[in-house]
Amino acid sequence: MGFLLTFAFFFFFFSLFLREMLISVALGQVLSLLICGIGLTSKYLSEDFHANTPVFQSFLNYILLFLVYTTTLAVRQGEENLLAILRRRWWKYMILGLIDLEANYLVVKAYQYTTLTSIQLLDCFVIPVVILLSWFFLLIRYKAVHFIGIVVCILGMGCMVGADVLVGRHQGAGENKLVGDLLVLGGATLYGISNVWEEYIIRTLSRVEFLGMIGLFGAFFSGIQLAIMEHKELLKVPWDWQIGLLYVGFSACMFGLYSFMPVVIKKTSATSVNLSLLTADLYSLFCGLFLFHYKFSGLYLLSFFTILIGLVLYSSTSTYIAQDPRVYKQFRNPSGPVVDLPTTAQVEPSVTYTSLGQETEEEPHVRVA
């Protein structure tokens, strides 16, 4: 009887853990599907209608974020009000807004100079950037299984690129490959900074504050960049209802991505999210098999399942954060007077962040990776 109870106990918790892990992986795939929608609408706009307007497309997204989240902050009271936030942290969000805008712009611009293969490979540079920034600034600690999962995901991405080469998939112009490669690396670095900063804000402040301030400063700076760089391109767009629908579809997918990504990052982490997004190109490819008559290779399926295996490995074990709570003091909304912690005693970690969420422990203790 005792054996059966023990077995039932372990089976229950294993089932609960497996369920949470699968939910974590599935949430990341929702983000990949949204990026797939962004890629498909952008492809139709640029190739079928010759509408090369990446800044205008970003501008539409930032306007939506402004209308929904910035106005929400504007009607709040107290310390979470828009003006109160701007008084304390306006310059930080201004920098973050510029980083987010230019990350999108650099990667889209790279398609004019380098090949699709180079972009797919070099865009993976965002993963080591996120890992390093998470290690040094968020103080997240990884275990061996996390690095194994990351390597497996990148191997799956390499398998997809190899399949592209074998089937002769369109690789792009590649007119000035070095410039294009540098643009991708620059965009990937800015994406990494933006993602880690986003995780920092949503864990210490709120998702609405992050999205509201990104909407405010993103709309402001993209509007300026649009007026300077793309006003002539907008005049060349052959406006009709089809193009209008494509812009609406792009904006809806982008708004959904920005709104949902903080939820997934808080549930998992910035590293886990970026690993999940490696499957976005594969979803676009599978859609392209029907829409653009791409050639199929079994390596694409192998690549897809390899990345999923890497995601499961990464999500199977918790990471943790070992820190002094004062690390977040400067960016927190204080509800009362801030009390300095004593500097004589070392503060041990009291919060464990996992790939499945976070749990607060009653008694602090040290966990070794």
State the DSSP H helix or E strand holding residue 246, giving kind and residue range, or none if neither: helix 241-267
What tens digit of pLDDT does each residue of 113-123 get?
877 667 777 88
Check pLDDT > 70 for residue 82. yes
Check pLDDT > 70 for residue 177. yes
What tens digit of pLDDT does each residue of 338-364 get?
444 344 444 444 444 444 444 443 333
Q: Which of 73-87, 127-141, 142-156, 342-356 has the lowest mean pLDDT?
A: 342-356
**105 found inside a domain:** yes
**340 found inside a domain:** no
Q: With contact defined as beta carbons under 8 Å apart, do 70 and 213 qualify?
A: yes
What tens digit of pLDDT does each residue of 16-36 get?
557 777 888 888 899 999 988
Total domains present in the chain: 1
**235, two tokens:** 């005049």
What tens digit of pLDDT does each residue of 101-113 get?
999 888 888 877 8
CA distance linking residue 347 with residue 267, whole number of Å: 25
Check pLDDT > 70 for residue 133. yes
Q: With contact defined as beta carbons under 8 Å apart, do 45 and 290 qualify?
A: no
**284 found inside a domain:** yes
Query: What was the pLDDT predicted at 318?
Result: 81
**176 found inside a domain:** yes
**295 found inside a domain:** yes
Domain that holds residue 53: 13-231+240-320
**3 found inside a domain:** no
Residue 346's φ and ψ, nearest 5 degrees, are: -80, 130
What tens digit of pLDDT does each residue of 269-321 get?
889 899 988 888 888 888 877 777 777 778 888 988 999 899 988 988 887 77
**341 found inside a domain:** no
How many residues does the structure list for the chain? 369
Query: What was the pLDDT predicted at 17?
Result: 55
Burial code (b: 16+ CB inside 10 Å, e: under 16) for 314-343 equals: bbbbbbbbbbeeeeeeeeeeeeeeeeeeee
In single-letter form, the type of residue at position 28 comes to: G
**156 found inside a domain:** yes
Check pLDDT > 60 for residue 241. yes
Cα-Cα-Cα-Cα dihedral sign, residues 246, 220, 183, 158: negative
Does the reported pTM lie above 0.85? no
**314, two tokens:** 């990464």
CA distance linking residue 350 with residue 36, whole number of Å: 39
